[in-house]
Structure 1
Amino acid sequence: MKALVTLFFLLFSFTAFSQEDSVRLIPRYKQKGFLQADFLAVKMPNGEKNIGLTGIHYNLNINKNFYAGLGYYGAVSGLRGGFFTLGLKAGVQANISKQLFVDAGAYFGGGGGADAPDGGGAVVLSHVNLGYQFPKFAITAGYSYINFFDGGLIKGSQLNYAVRIPFQLKHAPFADSEKTINYTEAKNTQWNTKSKNVSFALRFNQLSPKKKSQETTGNSLVGRTIQLVGFELSSDLGRNDFLFARADGAYKGIQGGYLDVLVGYGHRFLFFNDNTNIALKFGLGPGGGGGVDTQGGFLIYPDISITQKIWKNISISLNKGLLMTPNQHFYGSTLGLALQFNLQQNGFVYDNDKHFDSAVFKGLEIIAGQEIYFNAKRQVNPTENMQQVFTQINFYLKKQWYLATHVSFANFGNAGAYGEGTFGLGVTTADKMHTKFKAFAQVMAGGSGGGNMDVGQGLIVKPSVGLQYHLLPVLDLRSSFGHVKALDGGLSSSFVNLGVTYKVALLQGKK
């Protein structure tokens, strides 16, 4: 641990005096892709009621026929609320006619939970679907096969149903991060277009169970406070309406392992030159784990928040809401605080007729890979290595400093229900033209639990250092080593990981 801290500060001293690149006009690229929401009812062993899984996937088109991406599934019906998986997806699509198409692909990942017979957590889900393309979305349905193949008992075939919404990610090369262009330079380019407001928030919430809320053992949860940490992404539909997605995990108040992932719609009321707003939100999605009885796992989330701008694009938000199953078997009130970063992205025009004086390109990295914990201590079972699939998103604050969020689920090593959700800060060395390598260091902290891992109430810290190797303008190889420590549990393990990084730069307007 001391060695990692030393390396972190050496890296800081190396980067503190680096110079930014000179400004030049920067091209705009379009990456096509699609968001997909799907549902499948999976047959459970021993005559148990089917578990209904709903998923959301972010896919990028590699070419006209092939695509790849990331996604998750969570339980929304059955008896296993708190069952989640995270994985990588790849597929191929072939058109039969202008509207009809065939889609085939596979999803590989890890997860489990809610005492389900998931083995080590490794899961593969393949599908063959027939789809129909409408002007603004597509629907597909077909055959799928799921198998928790690392000692799990969940396997079988079922129908699946999906909705796809296409999108275009407009970006510049990652190498152009932190370069600035002014309106005069951009006026006659593709960047002189309407911007889109996107926000990212770090959330700290308290969940207070009420009424008949109980643990899966039958013990009451009333009177206890569950401390949650997480993040929220939102994207504006217009000036006042927006869509959001948020994920929270427990780190104190119950045994580690609780997680909820919600999506929804919101409407805001603006005051004081748009510096203050009050927002009404309604979300839904899967949640449970950590011994919290959410039955099948489907949760609804009405919420009201007040947000105040405190500096440039940074705001602070206070929220109050409810989180419950539709029949109120689980019912809780929420109170939270969030630090929000507001980004006017990929255009110079805002509020229809106004334009920014200048804009800066901000780096974004999406990382996916596999990680191994050595000699990971368990609550009851013997100590052994544990592997997990992970995804991490890095948003660059400056040329070499980034905020990061990291989510992972176990897939090998007899810890199928284990998951983590962390966030933190990282720093990299400067990109140099004469080398394809750059070093980085980061410190992450957040919630974890499940899978018989000895993490206490779930709070963990994870410092690490690593190297990134440049493959293509948008693709790197990335590897790191570090140490993970549960602050009130026995888990204290070294780890290594290997992954791939998709990297771009997004234009952010400056008023």
Structure 2
Amino acid sequence: MRNSFLFILVILCSSFLVAQTGSIPEMKTQKGFIKVDYLSINMPQVEIPNESNMGFSGIHYNIFLNESFYTGVGIYGSISGERGGFFTLGVNAGYKKYLNKKLYIDTGFHFGGGGGAGAPDGGGAFILPHLNLGYNFNHFSLNTGWSYVNFFDDGLIRGNQLNVALEIPLDFNYANYKNVEKTFSLESLKNSSWNKATKRTSFMVHLNNLKVLSEANATTGEVLKGKTIRLAGFEFANYLSENWFAFLKVDGAYSGIRAGYMDVLLGAGYNLSFNKNRTNILAKFGIGAGGGGGVDSKGGFLLYPDISIEQQIFDDIYISLNKGYLLTPNQHFSTSTFGVGLKYYVERNGTFSNETAFNKGKFKGIEVIIKQDWYFNAKRMENPTEDMHQISLQVNLDLNKHLFLAGQTSFANFGDAGAYAEGLVGLGVRTNNILNTNASLFTQILAGAAGGGNISTGEGLIIKPSVGVDYQLNNTLSLRSAIGYVKAKGGALSNPFLNFGIKYNFTFLNMK
């Protein structure tokens, strides 16, 4: 009788474990790649006599829709020439066909908006098609070929040029968004396809300050030496090993100088942890592009050495203090940097780590939104007021089923304001689906830095509340629309706006 009871108990426990494993979301893999490209654009001789070519460099992330077609987003910036502070944002679509195991043809199209640094960019809208021949070296590939750029909304920048690109495969694992906020025990996850080493990622929002050390004045003649340029932005880092990581950092000015300064930096760093992993010292070095707001950064190429110290304040949340330098290679523009940030660490898409012990995992949601904003009667500093349009990228991280943290960057593409850009962070709230439909409502409030394009934003601080609706098309895609209001502190920009776009969402496994 006792043996029979034990046999039944074992069967019931086994059935329970199987049921738990069966309910665990399926791990899916999205194929993708990072692309860094460079092209030398022949600039029209308008404001600067005998102007040299603008070195235009971009970083993109693309995902494959099938074996050959891909799509994604990318941001470009000037790194040589005379137009430091010239930035754009856009969307990619392309087709990659292998001729043999190594050689391939890549053709694609980039549409975006942006400008700056006094360049003849018109409204900012531009196209950038390419046709390249590439070679795959297994861990990376190189390609080169023809490209054409045209700032077609009354801009004068257009022409054909050679481009070169480096591509690195970067896939990610995910589960359908319907699994958001579901929690599973460590034991059940060990019996699933998620049973592998975690990958470490961090997200940080920060305030940074640039104290100008160099003698060069602003392009307007304003003395910059001794001034402090106050920036707001975010940083994303992905760990390549236990200590080494790569990072992307984006900042925009909100005070200290005329609105319009921005920098985008890509780099690597080393994390030394002690005090039972509650304290970290990070050494970082980045390169990238920056300028605008009257800052004379020449071609725009910047170097960024930095050291930070972080202290844990909650389970996965750290406060960060940083000190470093941001400068052009010849120190024509040179600053001392110091700042503070709030960082969130994630151990994702696995069940075990050499540094941390886990007892459960929760699926957290990510939303990536590409949209078009329409600002009604956007106030200018000088030119007659007119509507302005901009292309916008927003990324949301779900804090729970209804509350999300948002980061957004936007660049003007129509409306004679090509140099205008925004970098914002904030919070939002969403509802469940309403009235037994695929529609849900949301509201969000964003704030941050904005400027350029003759738009009246004062020193750059804006606030941007909105309400809207999402309509779910399938497990990963939704249509999105919103209305709202944008207000600049210290500037005349104060008007309603509406937007429409498409949202791509998924979940990742976050271990605790």
Same fold flag (TM > 0.5) = yes
Shift of 1:432: 6.5
CA RMSD of superposed structures (Å): 1.2
Name the structure 2 match of 1:234: 237
Shift of 1:211: 2.8
Matched-pair contact (CA < 8 Å) for 2:106–2:134? yes
Aligned partner (choices 124, 147, 164) of residue 161 of structure 1: 164
1:205-247 Cα distance to aligned partner (Å, 9 max, x none): 1111013142113432012111100000001111111111100
Name the structure 2 match of 1:26: 25
1:312-348 Cα distance to aligned partner (Å, 9 max, x none): 1100000001000000000000110000000001111
What's the TM-score once normalised by structure 2's chain length?
0.94
Flag structure 1 segments of 5+ consecutive residues without an equivalent.
Answer: 1-22
Flag structure 2 segments of 5+ consecutive residues without an equivalent.
Answer: 1-21
Matched-pair contact (CA < 8 Å) for 2:412–2:418? yes
Aligned partner (choices 137, 142, 150) of residue 145 of structure 2: 142
Shift of 1:153: 0.4
Distance 2:510 2:266 in 1: 25
Q: Which amino acid aligns with 2:498?
A: V
Decide which moves more: 428-437 or 99-108. 428-437
Matched, 1:341 2:337: no
Shift of 1:433: 9.6
Distance 1:227 1:355 in 2: 39
Matched-pair contact (CA < 8 Å) for 1:202–1:338? yes
Name the structure 2 match of 1:77: 80
Q: Which amino acid aligns with 2:158?
A: K
Matched-pair contact (CA < 8 Å) for 2:209–2:229? yes
- After TM superposition, where is structure 1 displaced by more than 2 Å over at least 4 residues in a row? 217-220, 431-434
CA distance 1:432–1:467, shift in 2 (3 Å): closer
Aligned partner (choices 361, 367, 371) of residue 369 of structure 1: 371
Matched, 1:56 2:59: yes
Q: Secondary structure at the match of 1:175?
A: helix
Distance 1:288 1:119 in 2: 19
Match runs of 1:7-156 below 5 Å: 24-46=23-45, 47-156=50-159
Distance 2:378 2:134 in 1: 44
Matched-pair contact (CA < 8 Å) for 1:213–1:331? no
Name the structure 1 match of 2:294: 291
Aligned partner (choices 250, 253, 258) of residue 255 of structure 1: 258
CA distance 1:431–1:187, shift in 2 (3 Å): farther
Matched-pair contact (CA < 8 Å) for 1:214–1:330? no
Matched-pair contact (CA < 8 Å) for 1:362–1:506? yes
1:63-85 Cα distance to aligned partner (Å, 9 max, x none): 11100000010000000000000
Question: Matched residues, percent identical?
Answer: 50
Matched, 1:206 2:209: yes
1:93-121 Cα distance to aligned partner (Å, 9 max, x none): 11111100101011001000000000010
Distance 1:44 1:221 in 2: 28
Q: Which amino acid aligns with 2:127?
A: V
Q: Which amino acid aligns with 1:63?
A: N
Name the structure 2 match of 1:458: 460
Aligned partner (choices 276, 279, 282) of residue 279 of structure 2: 276
Name the structure 2 match of 1:7: none
Matched length: 487
Matched, 1:265 2:268: yes
Distance 1:431 1:491 in 2: 34
What's the TM-score once normalised by structure 1's chain length?
0.94
Q: Secondary structure at the match of 1:184?
A: helix
Q: Secondary structure at the match of 2:31?
A: strand
1:112-169 Cα distance to aligned partner (Å, 9 max, x none): 0000000010010000000111111111100000000000000000000001111211
Q: Which amino acid aligns with 1:111?
A: G
Matched-pair contact (CA < 8 Å) for 2:24–2:192? no
1:482-503 Cα distance to aligned partner (Å, 9 max, x none): 0000011000010000111110
1:400-436 Cα distance to aligned partner (Å, 9 max, x none): 1100001000000000100000000000002469320
The structure that has the greater radius of gyration is 2
Matched-pair contact (CA < 8 Å) for 2:486–2:496? yes
Q: Which amino acid aligns with 1:38?
A: D
